[in-house]
Structure 1
């Protein structure tokens, strides 16, 4: 790559290279994206969090690219095959795919048919037939027959020569790149249902006889078809051309590209047909197969990236939903046979009552359920009813509506709440620690009530992947999904800020500079010594050193503390400036 990593990222983001250099220096120094976006604007000249996330992602990719480039240069150099032109080509490669195309001929590999043919002395035959099509292939091959070398006859010699040329054609980096891009722009993915799978695979019925160009395929279709193939319902084929183009007589456009590259043409000479057959063999048995694998990976990667973006966007919307605030809330976790689990939390989120009611089938204790809810709402001065949106949610919403109609004096408001991940929270180690004496089945109702009060504070207790805000989650790269969703949670938490005296350990662990272990230490210090009175007191927490303090202090709020600035987003390092204003 001729330009520096920083220069390339600057060009992609449309910013100055010095801005990127400053951001990279801060990231390498251990600063987080939220910290840089909020408190180092003067260094990066106001790069925002979205730009910094893209910068961070591209920096990771380009550094991996440079590591691979170095490894390839070392490998080819050790083989004694690195000349100036090859080195320039490797250094100019701008993507991992291009780099691997160049490296392919030099990649250590098991003994191939081409290698065996070379060892049998057949490379001069291959070179001769390619360089002089006027030679008769059988006559030329007869000279290379040698039983001691495993070349039994002229046909065996020609087979070896074909293997050598096939490898040569398939390892031409420039040609491979051109063929790949043509196949990407002209090809399509086709799906057919497997025999006998029509009933079992009914959910994939849209793809039983389906084809669409690669460039027009939306991510959800790609992932659906790949899942159908994985479940042995669909057969997928990556077709290099539309059917009408593929059905034209004569060599395909791809075969013509290979032929032109190696100056092969049918002019009626003795060797032309053999060379044309070799081109066809190389394309159909090797090059097309390898390009199909490449493009399948390209389709999957693009579909995964889009699915992860949707996941991240949906998660951000959920986390940043408007909190109901400090209002007593009655949480309902709907169910039929097992009943509706009920939990009442006060304005601070503390659990003050739990119960189970059975208004729906099979028990049908509707009136008793209404009476119980009215009693709980009155006793605990409930303002809000949070209803989980899972099984039996519509029936439970109707129950809450009737409660409101029959008891207008209670002034209740009902809200449907996403219960995604509530069951995961219920069985988690943190829930056991937070609600140790409560039955697992009731913890979900507590979570539903609290996530209406403060969605962000409650949802951070759950692994983001378990919140279920996207499609085909289990078909995506877990590393890619986790990295993206963790970044969303981190940005949301730090964008809002955290009350250090009320935040749970999971919430604190999402604050810039605070690990899960350090979050536990903050909570332990708070439990032992009482609420923090100042940000400066955070320095007394075990293992909270200067770097962690620098990163986290601005995002931690202290309400009603000794210094009003500790309740703001102003970083302690800026206090002297603010006080002079």
Structure 2
């Protein structure tokens, strides 16, 4: 079975099965995705980290599928009901849903009405009426009357006192039979997926409380077209008991015209027709057809519609969550790999009004040098005194950069620093506004408390703001990824799945950049391939006790860091200024012999070769391959020697906020501004233009050409130019455009459930409140009608 799993994954990834077999073997042996992607290309045929993450996820799912398959086969076998045909169907099932459908008739269940009816012998009546539609139900039922009795298990059975009880019992048996028909369920599920309409309405009397969901007060959209952000908004509204959300079929009739059907033409919906067609019910107008058609309607309204609505809405939520998590992961990836300002002395300012502006100065390595609290704003207004204090700190510590958090009083503090720079040009300061998302989370964390036990919590935030300008990746890894806040509806998705996905992103980013083992924090080291939090702490402790590591090999002296861990981690750890310059590169120690053969051919030492592109590009990689290292690895080695320790992150650049534009009231339609992308969603990108409220560039306003995915145009942390389209001061919303060369039409606005603007690309027309058909939404009424008719 394992082999079939690997072949299936290979087909899904469109790769050779040998690649998947090799990758699975490495994963099972404890290798990490970054290590396999970077240093085992020969084994996997060059599978990249994205393919490997997908492979790892699918491997887990398919192994769970096989475990469930085995359990189901064993259960049915114990019941002596496992036929060759059933076994074949179960073994051919490709999804957990299909497996559970096949298992339904054999799944242990409580004593149902259908089971009680079977005990009374009514399964024969149900089978007879379903098999021979010429039979008259009333007449046939007379044959099955039976007094109350006790079953062999000692349970009381009411028997079959009259014809109505006989037909009710037979109907319960058929309803359960229809609901456990795997093929029928698959067909109904597909029909609903293709034709179902998601409908929502505000709960009466809650219009004011649900104001942020007003676009969903009378909403309908084909289920298959509902995007992630709208689905999550609907589910949030339902969870908050403000919206009623249901799944309908467009051809479902109104409640007022729902008589018991006499034929298939009597206003039956598509799913009811499918149930009827499964058993050729109603095709010839025979005696049992009316009763059977009513049984079909009963099965749909009372049992199947509820069951399938719950399933499909759950699937919609899962798809929406997966998409939201994917968006969050991609934004986090871009934010973590944002351009670092580099090792420069930096002053971090955490703005505030009444509580003052918190100041922290760190040296070029991020070490805290000094702190202060100043009060330039209301109510104390110590403007000049603050400028003097900041100038003194900057001069004392040789500050190059001033990092300003973008929270409350950010623009006022930005204006303060601008005046500081004008008054003290000799200091040669540069100011940058950075996102302070997650800084407060870090400040109150155990990690911050351990790093700065004597420092006030508020000042720790200023340290974080300074460091995240120097190296966003090194600082942001200290914060729980979901606290960084670059997702959509992140609190509405599975927190376990979100954490797992974001942790993988952090791991990939950290290992893509590499880490200086002699300066990195334990939090950063813990993200390196093969290293646990405990091993990271051991490395830092060993470094503190014995001084800087002189070489990669010296890492093996760290307690509990064995050969396997060293193999996984060494290539991503850098030893700057080591005796062997290769220790500062991404060349793995296991491949040093390859480099030695290259140096022997060139008759030059490593320090002379590193960075010598013209010489290295003349070499033939094939000459240096052997049974262990093939062309992919040798090519990687040569590229690394050409640009040793290269950083994959872009060049540092900052947005210049426009002078005099500090609040919403300062904005005017038509303004061209520079800003920083803070978040990218499926419907557009949010941009910080320096007015304490991010504006939204809707997907339709991102380019003069069609944009399918906003991530194709911008990424989190990128500096962009935008045009102001409209400002809604009351609702604190800003519509922006990246189409600067035209007066772009205003996109249609939709209400985001999180209070921020959420636009979508649907036509600008009001939602039409759909009729209230039968289906998942009005089941209580349908049940009452069905009971009345029966």
| TM-score relative to the length of structure 2 | 0.72
Counterpart of 2:417 in structure 1 is: 400
The 1:275/1:328 distance shift into structure 2, 3 A limit, reads: same
In 2, are the aligned partners of 1:129 and 1:137 still within 8 Å (CA)? yes
The 1:20/1:185 distance shift into structure 2, 3 A limit, reads: same
Structure 1 residues 292-347: Cα deviation after superposition (integer angstroms, max 9, x where no partner): 01101110110000000011011111110111011111111112221211111111
Give 3-state SS (helix, strand or coil) of 1:403's partner: helix
In 2, are the aligned partners of 1:186 and 1:242 still within 8 Å (CA)? no
Distance apart, 1:2 and its partner CA: 11
Q: 1:539 aligns with which of 548, 553, 556?
A: 556
- Alignment root-mean-square deviation, CA: 1.6
In 2, are the aligned partners of 1:387 and 1:414 still within 8 Å (CA)? yes
The 1:566/1:245 distance shift into structure 2, 3 A limit, reads: farther
Counterpart of 1:225 in structure 2 is: 234
Gaps (5+ residues) in structure 2? 150-157, 258-264, 599-790
Give yes or no for the alignment of 1:65 onto 2:32.
no
Give yes or no for the alignment of 1:277 onto 2:286.
no
In 2, are the aligned partners of 1:2 and 1:92 still within 8 Å (CA)? no
Counterpart of 1:558 in structure 2 is: 575
Give 3-state SS (helix, strand or coil) of 2:338's partner: coil
Distance apart, 1:482 and its partner CA: 0.9
Give yes or no for the alignment of 1:520 onto 2:537.
yes
The equivalences for 1:231-310 within 5 A come to: 231-241=240-250, 250-310=267-327
Matches of 2:448 and 2:195, distance apart in 1: 53
Distance apart, 1:493 and its partner CA: 0.6
In 2, are the aligned partners of 1:166 and 1:279 still within 8 Å (CA)? yes
In 1, are the aligned partners of 2:252 and 2:268 still within 8 Å (CA)? no
Matches of 2:179 and 2:385, distance apart in 1: 76
Matches of 1:242 and 1:134, distance apart in 2: 30
Counterpart of 2:171 in structure 1 is: 162
The equivalences for 1:308-347 within 5 A come to: 308-347=325-364
Gaps (5+ residues) in structure 1? none
In 2, are the aligned partners of 1:188 and 1:242 still within 8 Å (CA)? no
Matches of 1:570 and 1:357, distance apart in 2: 48
Matches of 1:27 and 1:225, distance apart in 2: 39
Give 3-state SS (helix, strand or coil) of 1:59's partner: helix
Matches of 2:485 and 2:251, distance apart in 1: 38
Matches of 1:315 and 1:112, distance apart in 2: 50
Q: 1:172 aligns with which of 162, 177, 181?
A: 181
Matches of 1:332 and 1:244, distance apart in 2: 64
Structure 1 residues 58-100: Cα deviation after superposition (integer angstroms, max 9, x where no partner): 1111111111111111111111111110001001111111111
Matches of 2:99 and 2:278, distance apart in 1: 20
Give yes or no for the alignment of 1:76 onto 2:76.
yes
Structure 1 residues 386-433: Cα deviation after superposition (integer angstroms, max 9, x where no partner): 111222222222222222233222222111211111111101111111
Give yes or no for the alignment of 1:181 onto 2:190.
yes
Distance apart, 1:138 and its partner CA: 1.0
In 1, are the aligned partners of 2:253 and 2:267 still within 8 Å (CA)? no
The equivalences for 1:190-209 within 5 A come to: 190-209=199-218
Structure 1 residues 200-220: Cα deviation after superposition (integer angstroms, max 9, x where no partner): 222222212211111111111
In 2, are the aligned partners of 1:219 and 1:302 still within 8 Å (CA)? yes
The 1:183/1:140 distance shift into structure 2, 3 A limit, reads: same
Give 3-state SS (helix, strand or coil) of 1:386's partner: strand
Matches of 1:176 and 1:271, distance apart in 2: 24
More helix by share: 1
Structure 1 residues 457-487: Cα deviation after superposition (integer angstroms, max 9, x where no partner): 1111111121111122221111111111010
Give yes or no for the alignment of 1:95 onto 2:112.
no
The worse-fitting range, judged by mean Cα deviation, of 302-311 and 237-246 is 237-246
Give 3-state SS (helix, strand or coil) of 2:220's partner: strand
Counterpart of 1:144 in structure 2 is: 144
The 1:411/1:249 distance shift into structure 2, 3 A limit, reads: farther
Q: 1:472 aligns with which of 481, 489, 494?
A: 489
Matches of 1:388 and 1:249, distance apart in 2: 67
Matches of 1:189 and 1:379, distance apart in 2: 64
Matches of 1:214 and 1:406, distance apart in 2: 61
Counterpart of 2:630 in structure 1 is: none
Structure 1 residues 554-579: Cα deviation after superposition (integer angstroms, max 9, x where no partner): 11110011211111111111111111
The equivalences for 1:33-44 within 5 A come to: 33-44=33-44
Matches of 2:105 and 2:412, distance apart in 1: 66
Counterpart of 1:21 in structure 2 is: 21
In 1, are the aligned partners of 2:252 and 2:269 still within 8 Å (CA)? no
The 1:162/1:45 distance shift into structure 2, 3 A limit, reads: same
Distance apart, 1:45 and its partner CA: 1.0
Matches of 2:93 and 2:379, distance apart in 1: 67
In 2, are the aligned partners of 1:497 and 1:557 still within 8 Å (CA)? yes
Matches of 2:185 and 2:249, distance apart in 1: 14
Give 3-state SS (helix, strand or coil) of 1:221's partner: helix
In 1, are the aligned partners of 2:253 and 2:269 still within 8 Å (CA)? no
Structure 1 residues 158-196: Cα deviation after superposition (integer angstroms, max 9, x where no partner): 000000000111111111011101101111211111122
Q: Which has the higher contact order (CA 8 A, sep 6+)?
A: 2
Counterpart of 2:127 in structure 1 is: 127
Q: How many residues align?
A: 581
